[in-house]
Structure 1
């Protein structure tokens, strides 16, 4: 098995140091924001407002085995502990009676919370944030469009107006203008259009490197890196996108993968099956992704994190604010709404030459039935795994391992 990526180690080290510095700045009185993964973080970046990504914090808590502690804090206050756990973990952190013992020293209470409201439960979680003293929630709408573009990933970099629709973009542009006014009034900082354009340029440079890396891995035989390495190597820079560090980190990942491919580095020398993982990371059991390499020669070569970085973020145009709206107006569609998502997953499965797909289906899944159906119709076998990606209570690890092993032995490996 190959050694861990240098870029994965570097990204984790950088994030730890950055988070420690953020905690010091907040303790000194500086404001910071908590933002959802699909929120337009680039505006905060341009204004110099530090932020923590809600789902990143939930993944850290889960990886440290602390999710149940935080869900218990929700139960104690009469809140449900079984809905949108990936989003509610950070809210529970506010109620932690011993924050100093929390992972990475604990999440400070944000002064600003920014999120798109994609459902009733999500909206209620953030409304509770808004009730916390010193915290203000700024909500963004979740709009839809009846007309769905074919092969949206080909349109998005430059023809995004055509792909998304002008009405949808008009709505989000107006909301972003309101967000800028809110941030200026709340923080006393001034939004600079010049600085914002620089941030947008850096993000595009970063995603171009991610696209090259995605295509390189898709062609590589055998697979040169593990999914558990690619996720931090991609996603930590994603949470810092719009910075030169993030752009350079994406380039470093590409260069390291290029060297591995040239050297013939392999995650599994006896690679017999290439697998695709659809869904959020299984943060409470990251060893899952390596479990079937020695026993079955099965390697997970794909996760959504690098792929959506490659296809979902690039936005070029003369109007940076409208381009930012185009980055996020249909972001959830790309991952979760059929036929947007279903067509894309089939495209990615074929591009990477996968032999099968393990599909995580959680209680709040949107469009999972259609994703599985589209892949099966394309001749790609799918195993659905019903679990929550941070809450292990409903998952028997042994049963999950046995189910995947049986699927590999009876459906995937016999195909040759």
Structure 2
């Protein structure tokens, strides 16, 4: 794997390792531990001082260390599907590992609480299995929808989120979060503090504003000052620590490092010939995939959803802290996967970044991919649909990279040359 270009990416990875080591010690001593989905209201756990691990982050670590096939084998041996919702089920496989010491970073500690929205039948059943295990409680959040859809949600969300999300959805999630607080107080002995939560929200907003500056700076800079393989750890590891001063400061350092590269004229690929957009989750088992297109074709992936959603999807300002958190997560999946929320946003981001083409990773559990691709093509942007799973290596065809290269030459580079 290519060396990290940014010091902020290296520092974030170092911090994450130290944090995970301490988390394992706390869990081994009998402390509470939550496993939460990426789109869950982690800020409540932060404010209450309850350690948590993000389900999809752990799956990405397992895949990056080439251990995903082993974990999927464990699921199959237990009689569970190994071919659907792999990104969400890999952590579950850790429960059944006879040699957990061989897992990355010492292995995933056994959680006492798991938290997730009930998005899709498969996802719900994965967490039902978690909840059936001794000593583990599953707390489920509903997944609601709204008939009235704001196309320009990214403009509304920071301050006018009541209009963007809808009163009924916010009422439901706010009530569920109140119940979650009571549940956590009862089961962990930790005490909820509204003052602590307000401080967490302030720090999250500051972090999001730094991410917005970084996203906008990268969008308007040609050639691109960095690769997505650097931006992803620099933005996402701090995202898993939202609500801390370290995360806020890490987002600022990331911006300042990118800004220094822009000011000095540094480019990740001096001979940049095309700007590409990667839609979908990170291809964790082969992060060098992105860099090889730079080396062979001068085609730079300048966009991934991770920095973009950190910029547009998280800022929320309000007086009621629980309702403000509800506004952040009640429509989170819509922002990424439900048209026209998602499709209009991807078109907006493609235009903002001046991309010449899009590679869209479409997995079996993807939602709204057809409408996203249709919207991009209607905007005149070529799209390649890469059908594969982001953690299951079995899903990637041997010809995939060659097929993408042929599309790149035929539909993107030839078009630019003409």
- Kindly report the root-mean-square deviation, in angstroms, between the aligned alpha carbons of the 2 structures: 0.9
Cα offsets for 1:45-81 (capped at 9, x unmatched): 0000000000000000000001110111111111111
SS of 2:53's equivalent in the other structure is strand
| Shift of residue 285, structure 1, vs aligned partner | 1.0
Partner of 1:356: 357
Partner of 2:223: 222
State yes or no: 1:378 paired with 2:368: no
8 A contact 1:2–1:267 mirrored in 2: no
Cα offsets for 1:221-247 (capped at 9, x unmatched): 110111011001000000000000000
Paired with 1:323 and 1:403, the residues of 2 have a C-alpha distance of 45
Alignment of 1:209-288 (within 5 A): 209-288=210-289
Partner of 2:152: 151
State yes or no: 1:82 paired with 2:77: no
Paired with 2:310 and 2:294, the residues of 1 have a C-alpha distance of 26
SS of 2:275's equivalent in the other structure is strand
8 A contact 1:143–1:168 mirrored in 2: yes
State yes or no: 1:312 paired with 2:316: no
TM-score for both structures, normalised by structure 1 = 0.99
Partner of 2:197: 196
Change in CA separation of 1:3 and 1:88 when aligned onto 2, cut-off 3 Å: closer
8 A contact 1:37–1:55 mirrored in 2: yes
SS of 2:390's equivalent in the other structure is coil
| Shift of residue 414, structure 1, vs aligned partner | 1.2
Paired with 1:407 and 1:138, the residues of 2 have a C-alpha distance of 45
Paired with 2:17 and 2:295, the residues of 1 have a C-alpha distance of 32
Partner of 2:13: 12
Partner of 2:72: 71
Partner of 1:329: 330
Paired with 1:292 and 1:189, the residues of 2 have a C-alpha distance of 49
Partner of 1:122: 123
| Shift of residue 150, structure 1, vs aligned partner | 2.2
Paired with 2:3 and 2:269, the residues of 1 have a C-alpha distance of 8
Gaps of 5+ in 2: none
SS of 2:358's equivalent in the other structure is strand
| Shift of residue 394, structure 1, vs aligned partner | 1.9
8 A contact 2:4–2:230 mirrored in 1: no
Paired with 1:335 and 1:38, the residues of 2 have a C-alpha distance of 11
Partner of 2:400: 400
| Shift of residue 3, structure 1, vs aligned partner | 6.2
**4+ residue runs over 2 A deviation:** none
8 A contact 1:32–1:49 mirrored in 2: yes
Partner of 2:414: 414
| Shift of residue 2, structure 1, vs aligned partner | 9.4
Paired with 2:19 and 2:165, the residues of 1 have a C-alpha distance of 35
SS of 1:299's equivalent in the other structure is strand
Paired with 2:340 and 2:150, the residues of 1 have a C-alpha distance of 9
Gaps of 5+ in 1: none
Paired with 1:401 and 1:78, the residues of 2 have a C-alpha distance of 33
Alignment of 1:73-112 (within 5 A): 73-112=74-113
State yes or no: 1:50 paired with 2:34: no
Paired with 1:306 and 1:150, the residues of 2 have a C-alpha distance of 20
SS of 1:385's equivalent in the other structure is strand
Paired with 2:97 and 2:395, the residues of 1 have a C-alpha distance of 24
Partner of 1:21: 22
SS of 1:301's equivalent in the other structure is strand
